[in-house]
Amino acid sequence: MRIQFDKAALLIVDVQDSLLPYIHQAEQMHAKVLWLCKLAEYLKLPTVISEHCVDKIGGTNQAVSAAAAGAQVFQKRSFSAVRDGLVERTLLKDKAHVIVCGMESHVCVLQTCLDLLAKGKTVYLVRDAVSSRKRSNIKLAMARLRQAGAIVVSTEMVAFELMASADHPSFSSVLKQLIK
C-alpha cells in the first residue's frame, strides 16, 4: 500500500537531547529526522512530535523543534504514546497513514507503532530515521514491526510516495533541496 498524502501525517517519536548521545549512529538518524521535517514543511504535511517524561529527560532536540515549528507536541509518560491518548488528542485522530521516525526503535517507537496498528492505522516506519542504543535492538524492532504489519520505508520512499508525480507543486524544491 502506498502512502496517500491526504490520509498521512508524520509522527516524530522522542528525539530528545539527553538520549541522543547514547543512540547508535545518532548523527545519521538525527539528519534523517531533520530531512523529514523539511519534507513535511515543503509539502505541508501535518506533523506530531511526542516527548517522553519531559520533566526528567528534557524536551525535543532544538534543531528538530525548529525544523518542525508547526508541529503539534504531545507529552507522554507511557512508552507507547497511544496509551496516553496520542490518537484521540492529536491530529492523528483523522489520519489513516502514520509515517513514524524517532527513537528508541525497540521501546517507544515499537510500542507506539504496535498500538497504532491495533487502532487500525497504517504505519510507515522510516528505517533510516529510527534508532536505538544498540544495533541489535534496532534489527529486532524492525523484524517485529514488519511481522505486526508495519510497512518499512526509507526517507526518499516517503518523499516520492507523498508527491506521487513530478507534477507535484513541490517536486522541484524537494528534488533540489532534499534529494541531492
- pLDDT at 179 exceeding the cut of 90: no
pTM: predicted TM-score of the whole model, two decimal places:
0.96
- 180 has a pLDDT exceeding 80: no
- Residues with a known catalytic role: 14, 76, 108
130 forms beta bridges with 102
> 161 falls in which pLDDT band (50, 70, 90)?
very high
| Tens-digit pLDDT profile for residues 18-46 | 999 999 999 999 999 999 999 999 999 99
Query: Residue 96's pLDDT band (boundaries 50, 70, 90)?
Result: very high
What's the CATH number where 110 sits?
Answer: 3.40.50.850
Residue 72 DSSP one-character state: E
Determine the average pLDDT of the residues in 106-115: 98
CA distances from 40 to 102, 111, 136, 161, 174 (A): 15, 24, 30, 13, 10
Which residues, 6 or more positions from 57, have their beta carbon under 8 angstroms from its beta carbon? 16, 18, 19
**Could you report the per-residue pLDDT of 47-60, keeping only the tens digit for each?**
999 999 999 999 99
Cell readout for 95 is: 489520519
Range(s) of the domain holding residue 33: 5-178
Residue 94: per-residue pLDDT: 94
Provide the number of structural domains found in the chain: 1
- The three-class DSSP label of residue 152 is strand
Helix residue ranges, H only, 19-148? 26-43, 54-57, 62-67, 86-89, 110-118, 135-148
